[in-house]
Amino acid sequence: MKYLIKGGKPLCGSVEISGAKNAAVAIIPACLMVDGVCRIENVPMISDVTMLLRILREMGGIVRMVNKNTVDIDCRPITRPAAEFDMMRQIRASYYLIGAMLARFGSARVVMPGGCNFGGTRPIDQHVKGFSALGARVELGNDMVVAEARSGRLHGANIYLDVVSVGATVNVMLAASMAVGTTVIENAAKEPHIVDLANFLNSCGADIRGAGTNVIKVRGVKRLEGGSYAIIPDQIEAGTYMAAVAGCGGEVLIQNVIPRHLECISGKLREMGVEVENLGDAVRVTRDGPLGRANIKTLPYPGFPTDMQPQLSTVLAVANGTSVVSEGVWETRYKYVDELRRMGARIQVEGRIAIIEGVRRLSGATIRAYDLRAGAAMVIAGLIAEGTTTVEGVSYIERGYEDIVLKLRGLGADIISVTEDDPKESLRSAM
Ligand code: UD1
């Protein structure tokens, strides 16, 4: 698939934000630990989620869609702590199955994760450190992780994470939830999806305190029971639409959000001359004047999210003046810059720093999505640019954005999704 975008139009209207991808991809594997049926609501229907649901099904779980965004998951029939399917290489969050399997079965065999590659490495040493501290032996093969609790069950421990890692915090929290005794995770990540996972597990009977701070205390319990849980709105999806309005101009009501989670993004946009009005469970974003420059440094939550860096950098490419962006989480995350340059952007990259000299306009071009958020940035670039932009490689984008074409069309954008080979035959106008 690819997207064809005719840019240069302001965005107007309202858009409904879906459930948070990064919470969903932690909560769905966590259902493996539950002795009962989990009804999960506000599940974003994106390919990362459908893939995880397929994995649970392949493992023997019962997965039933109640409606488009609600699913019942019953993992009681699963008897083997193994997930060795090829499709798992395509999704990074499949490694949360390791923590969940260790918790429930005391052992795990899981195919090594794939997912977005930002151009650098994505180590899992802190996950391994956490599992080992809980008493597991962990072997990393070429494309497999095999882990086993040395004494049959995991035991609580004090774990200091050397880097603030979302993935390691999630995985250790999962594994520790059913360990014998208490675990303390220090230097934990504080992202909203960490809190959401803790809330879900607690709603099933877990005993987790401090999620959202840098010290999380997990008292292991013997059993988790089923129930209903609604996933929080997606901070990054909301931020992406906010950035799109900033870039294109216009006025959009962004609904089903938690404005507190958006403060780091709203603050930056205000600095750039964009109006962001907090309306409780919605924000109204308006830009009718010139766009100002800004500097950005990405940091773990509550800092400016790295997952918004490509989208905001794209907007800064057409701001007045020179902006400096510093990537503080990943070694490098600027692969998309070459695509923007082909549209007329002036951006220099030196290691973790990008210097963006704002230009008056971008011009339509054929560009490629190299990862999920860079892909979203390419869509924003296409919406801003004059002329027609073709965005290729959109399967990355559809890993994390529910109905993006439909939602943008609802805001007046001229965007359609077509198959790569035969645009005329299979024009899939998303109306
Ligand atoms: C999660 C998000 C991703 C986001 C990232 C940072 C999900 C599914 N994905 O990814 O979208 O960009 O958080 O907000 O939630 N690190 C280590 N050793 C480890 C683990 C991580 O050195 O064992 C380093 C990484 O190289 C990186 C930093 O820690 O520099 C942060 O990574 P981490 O928070 O773990 O990212 P993910 O959980 O993979």
Do 134 and 54 belong together in one domain? yes
What range does the domain containing 77 cover? 21-230
Q: Residues, the chain, total?
A: 431
Domain count across the chain: 2
Task: Point out the residues that are catalytic.
Answer: 116
pLDDT, mean over the chain: 94
Residue environment code for 193-223, b if the CB has 16+ CB neighbours within 10 A, otherwise e:
bbbbbbbbbbebbbebebbbeeebbbebbee
Do 129 and 261 belong together in one domain? no
Do 416 and 284 belong together in one domain? yes
Between helix 309-316 and helix 372-384 the angle, nearest 10°, is 20
Q: In whole angstroms, what is the distance from residue 417 CA to residue 49 CA?
A: 21
Best of 94, 122, 170 for a ligand 1 pocket test (most atoms within 8 Å of beta carbon): 122
Do 287 and 376 belong together in one domain? yes
The residue out of 230, 256, 283 marking a domain boundary is 230
Sign of the four-CA dihedral 12, 14, 16, 20: positive
Report how far ligand 1's centroid is from the alpha carbon of 303 (Å).
14
Q: What is the pLDDT of residue 93?
A: 81
Do 46 and 167 belong together in one domain? yes
pLDDT tens digits for range 221-279: 999 999 999 999 999 999 999 999 999 999 999 999 999 999 999 999 999 999 999 99
Neighbours of 248 (CB within 10 A): 25
By the 10 Å C-beta count (0-12 exposed, 13-18 middle, 19+ buried), 253 is classed as middle
Kindly indicate the confidence band of residue 425, based on its pLDDT and cuts at 50, 70 and 90: very low
Do 251 and 177 belong together in one domain? no
pTM given for the model: 0.95
By the 10 Å C-beta count (0-12 exposed, 13-18 middle, 19+ buried), 280 is classed as exposed
Do 209 and 63 belong together in one domain? yes
The residue out of 197, 230, 263 marking a domain boundary is 230
Protein residues whose CB sits closer than 6 Å to any atom of ligand 1? 22, 25, 92-93, 122-127, 163, 165-168, 189, 306-307, 329-330
Residue 427: pLDDT over 70: no
CATH code, domain with 98 = 3.65.10.10
Report how far ligand 1's centroid is from the alpha carbon of 199 (Å).
21
Q: What is the pLDDT of residue 117?
A: 54
Do 199 and 259 belong together in one domain? no
Average pLDDT over residues 18-43: 98
The residue out of 194, 211, 230 marking a domain boundary is 230
Do 267 and 179 belong together in one domain? no
Residue 428: pLDDT over 60: no
Kindly indicate the confidence band of residue 33, based on its pLDDT and cuts at 50, 70 and 90: very high
232 vs 425, residue with greater confidence: 232
Report how far ligand 1's centroid is from the alpha carbon of 425 (Å).
41
Q: What is the pLDDT of residue 429?
A: 34
